[in-house]
């Protein structure tokens, strides 16, 4: 999706910001039949920021995906906390934001 650029999700973005952007994309693509996909109809659309698929935090991205697919198996993992810990420990920063949707 168009979220891969990183400016629609990430630092300082709220859950509502990301949801609004996602809904805009779905609406823009409705003429292409996008709104007819079962995933869209069943509200099974997930957003993962590029930082979680092609960078040092790709492991955290995998944890988000695992929790979406198998929440019962991975209920003890918190990708949000893992992300905060990574940013603080390895980057020396504390950021608020929304990198995935729906958030965990």
Q: For the residues 21-46, what does the mean pLDDT come to?
A: 89
pLDDT at site 35: 84
* Beta strands per DSSP E along 1-104: 10-11, 47-48, 97-98, 100-101
Is the pTM here over 0.95, yes or no? no
Segment 44-102, tens digit of pLDDT: 999 898 889 888 999 999 999 999 999 999 999 999 999 999 999 999 999 999 999 99
Run of H or E including 2: none
Q: Tell me the angle at which helices 79-86 and 58-69 cross, rounded to the nearest 10 degrees.
A: 170
pLDDT at site 5: 58
Say if residue 1's pLDDT is above 60: no
pLDDT at site 65: 95
Is there a cis peptide before residue 39, judged by omega within 30 degrees of 0? no
């Amino acid at each position: 999706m168009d979220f891969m650029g990183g400016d629609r999700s990430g630092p300082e973005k709220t859950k509502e910001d990301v949801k609004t952007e996602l809904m805009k994309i779905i609406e823009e693509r409705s003429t292409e039949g996008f709104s007819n996909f079962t995933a869209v109809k069943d509200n099974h659309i997930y957003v993962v920021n590029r930082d979680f698929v092609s960078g040092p935090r790709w492991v955290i991205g995998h944890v988000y995906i695992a929790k979406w697919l198998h929440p019962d198996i991975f209920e003890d993992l918190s990708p949000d906390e893992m992300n905060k810990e990574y940013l603080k420990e390895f980057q020396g920063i504390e950021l608020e934001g929304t990198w995935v949707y729906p958030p965990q």
